[in-house]
């Protein structure tokens, strides 16, 4: 069968995009938009582990995988995993992140130190016995023709329970094609006998595919007001709930004050994820209170496209979110990862991605006390070099995508 005939037959089958875009997380919400635009097929289905409607936040109307599988019966389908750090997301983490915040806090308090009970609870919530539920469960669909993984990550795969690692390896081994986004993950999988393609994260395409939409978004609402408020520009800043202790917030405030003062920039704090175990609004407010002498704003919108626009119209990004960094890079902006307190560089997704694909000469991620110096280095990189890197990464992902879907 020719490549053209194969592509034509694939286009006639239902295609299911599967990923962790069933809860609010910036990168996970963005990834299916990129894959859908590149596939350009009618009737795509968007699936997670839970039924959700995140369209008001720029996401999708998401089907629960098991329910959709039951409704399709023996219909032949293609499954496309859209990316994300899904290789190491276990059932407990997945189930907690799908809960409302109050319920999540209650279950963590009750079960976090009781591994057998928390596993039983997670399996009941998800309706699955899988250790790694965001990888297609075996036998879920009656008639699967292709299973494709795009740019998945799993830099901590060697640290997960052996049973979970074995399940991940088995699932990937049964796939049609596996793409991973960093060399660290690729090396771990190779050591376990999995041959995989190396490709950038799909989010490197965001400026090329959605630049016009994002620029239009910036002309209205909350972001337009911020642009007027900070005429010399703003630094887009994000950090996860791990940064919430008083000492860490004091360090962050001191470092951000230095960056702001040196360049007369406003500091705009934004949440890249509102799901449990992501970013905490109360912690952002505590940091803003410590920045009383610095022009600061807390960006309220959780809409995917508003967040993209906030980053794209900034003077740079600093934070713990990999996709915040990738989106800034796609718009050829200075970006800097910030390590969680006590986190080693080897455990940083940002460092793993930059080690594989480059960072235009700036550090990929630094400890909190080095944020200001790291941002100085990032802003000193040549704009032309950042633009070249953005183009190279977009070109690399597009080439890899075509090779997978047209071969």
Q: Running DSSP on this structure, what letter comes out for residue 291?
A: T
Please give the angle made by the CA atoms of 84, 89 and 93, to the nearest 5 degrees.
Answer: 125
CATH of the domain at 189: 3.40.50
Q: Assess if residue 239 is contained within a domain.
A: yes
Q: 188 pLDDT band (50/70/90 cuts)?
A: very high
Give a yes or no: residue 228 inside a domain. Answer: yes
Q: Report yes or no: 45 and 36 within 8 Å, Cβ to Cβ.
A: no
Domain boundary among 199, 221, 243: 199
Regarding whether 157 and 9 lie in a shared domain, the answer is: yes
- Residues 74-104: tens digit of each pLDDT: 999 999 999 999 999 999 999 999 999 999 9
Q: What is the pLDDT of residue 4?
A: 43
Structural domain count of the chain: 2
Asked, for residue 113, whether it belongs to a domain, the answer is no
How does DSSP assign 351-379, residue by residue?
Answer: HHHHHHH--TTS-SEE-GGGHHHHHHHHH
Q: Identify the band that residue 407 occupies on the pLDDT scale cut at 50, 70 and 90.
A: low
Instruction: Give a yes or no: residue 102 inside a domain.
Output: no
Residues 163 and 305 placed together within one structural domain of the fold:
no
DSSP at 85 = S
Residue 10 lies in a domain: yes
pLDDT at 329 over 60: yes
Task: Give one DSSP letter per residue of 147-216, joined into a string.
Answer: EEEEEE--TTGGGS-HHHHHHHHHHHHTSSEEEESSHHHHHHHHHTT---EE---GGGGHHHHHHHHHHH
Check residue 13 and give its pLDDT.
Answer: 87
Percent of residues, the chain, with pLDDT higher than 90: 94
Q: Which two tokens stand for residue 371?
A: 């944020």
Residues 16-70: tens digit of each pLDDT: 999 999 999 999 999 999 999 999 999 999 999 999 999 999 999 999 999 999 9
Centre a 10 Å sphere on the Cβ of residue 162 and count the other Cβ atoms it contains.
7
3-class SS of residue 297: strand
End-of-domain residue from the set 149, 176, 199: 199
- For 361, the token pair is 């000469």
Q: Which two tokens stand for residue 404?
A: 């997978």
Chain segment 332-354, per-residue pLDDT in tens: 999 999 999 999 999 999 999 99
- Contact indicator for 129, 123 with CB cutoff of 8 Å: yes
- Same domain as 373, residue 352: yes
- If asked whether residues 172 and 300 sit together in one domain, one would say no
**Judgement on whether residues 182 and 249 belong to the same structural domain of the protein:** no
What's the confidence (pLDDT) of residue 2?
40
Cα 251-254-255 angle, rounded to 5 deg: 85
**Any residues with CB less than 8 A from the CB of 300 and at least 6 apart, and which?**
222
Of 170, 199, 228, the residue at which a domain comes to its end is 199
Measure the CA–CA gap between 257 and 375, rounded to whole angstroms.
12
| pLDDT recorded at residue 9 | 54
- Is the model's pLDDT at 195 over the cut of 50? yes
Confidence of residue 403 (pLDDT cuts 50, 70, 90): very high
Q: Does residue 117 form part of some domain?
A: no
- As given in the structure block, the two tokens for residue 306 are 């508003």
Same domain? For 181 and 261 the reply is no
Give the CATH number of the domain where residue 381 resides.
3.40.50.2000
User: How far does CA 301 lie from the centroid of its chain?
Assistant: 18
Q: Are residues 169 and 285 in the same domain?
A: no
**How confident is the model over 240-299, as pLDDT tens digits?**
999 999 999 999 999 999 999 999 999 999 999 999 999 999 999 999 999 989 999 999
Mark whether 249 and 352 lie in a shared domain: yes
Residue range of the domain that includes 238:
212-393
Q: Are both 345 and 222 inside the same structural domain?
A: yes
pLDDT band at 12 (very low <50, low <70, confident <90, very high): confident
Angle at 21 between CA 144 and CA 313, to 5 degrees: 135
Residues 174 and 256 reside in one and the same domain: no
Q: Are residues 270 and 311 in the same domain?
A: yes
3-state secondary structure of 45: strand
Residues 6+ apart with CB under 8 A from 32: 17, 19, 21, 46, 60, 82
The values of phi and psi at residue 17, to 5°, are: -90, 125
In a domain, residue 98? The reply is no
Closest by Cα among 62, 352, 83, 327 to 205 = 327
Question: DSSP class of residue 273?
Answer: B
Q: Is residue 207 part of a domain?
A: no
Q: How confident is residue 220, by pLDDT bands cut at 50, 70 and 90?
A: confident
**Domain shared by 157 and 239, yes or no:** no
Whether the Cβ atoms of residue 314 and residue 327 lie closer than 8 Å to each other: no
């Amino acid at each position: 069968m020719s490549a053209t005939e194969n592509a034509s037959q694939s286009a006639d089958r239902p295609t299911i995009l599967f990923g962790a875009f069933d809860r609010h997380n910036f990168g996970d919400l963005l990834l299916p938009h990129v894959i859908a635009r590149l596939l350009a097929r009618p009737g795509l289905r968007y699936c997670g582990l839970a039924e959700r409607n995140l369209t008001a936040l720029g996401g999708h109307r998401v089907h629960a995988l098991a329910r959709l599988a039951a409704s399709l019966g023996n219909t032949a389908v293609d499954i496309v995993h859209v990316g994300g750090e899904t290789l190491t997301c276990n059932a407990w983490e997945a189930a907690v992140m799908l809960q409302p915040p109050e319920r999540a806090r209650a279950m963590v308090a009750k079960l976090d130190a009781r591994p057998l009970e928390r596993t039983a609870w997670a399996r009941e919530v998800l309706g699955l016995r899988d250790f790694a539920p965001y990888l297609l469960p075996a036998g879920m669909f009656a008639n699967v023709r292709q299973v494709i993984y795009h740019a998945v990550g799993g830099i901590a795969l060697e640290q997960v329970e052996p049973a979970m690692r074995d399940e991940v390896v088995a699932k990937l081994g049964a796939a049609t094609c596996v793409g991973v986004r960093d060399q660290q993950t690729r090396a771990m999988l190779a050591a376990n006998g999995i041959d995989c393609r190396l490709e950038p994260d799909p989010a490197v395409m965001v400026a090329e595919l959605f630049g016009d939409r994002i620029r239009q978004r910036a002309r209205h609402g909350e972001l337009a007001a911020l642009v007027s408020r900070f005429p010399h520009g703003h630094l887009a800043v994000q950090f996860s709930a791990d940064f919430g202790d008083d000492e860490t917030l004091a360090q962050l405030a001191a470092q951000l004050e230095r960056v702001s003062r040196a360049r007369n920039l406003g500091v705009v704090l934004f949440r890249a994820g509102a799901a449990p175990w992501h970013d905490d609004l109360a912690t952002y407010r505590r940091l803003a209170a410590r920045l009383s002498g610095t022009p600061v704003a807390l960006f309220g919108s959780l809409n995917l496209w508003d967040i993209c626009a906030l980053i794209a119209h900034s003077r740079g990004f600093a934070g713990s979110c990999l996709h915040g960094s990738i989106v800034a890079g796609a718009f050829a902006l200075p970006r800097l990862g910030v390590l969680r307190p006590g986190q080693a560089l080897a455990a940083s997704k940002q460092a793993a991605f930059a080690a594989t694909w480059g960072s235009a000469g700036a550090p990929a991620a630094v400890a909190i006390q080095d944020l200001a110096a790291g941002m100085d280095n990032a802003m000193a990189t040549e704009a032309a070099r950042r633009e070249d890197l953005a183009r190279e990464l977009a070109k690399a992902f597009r080439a890899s995508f075509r090779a997978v879907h047209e071969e």
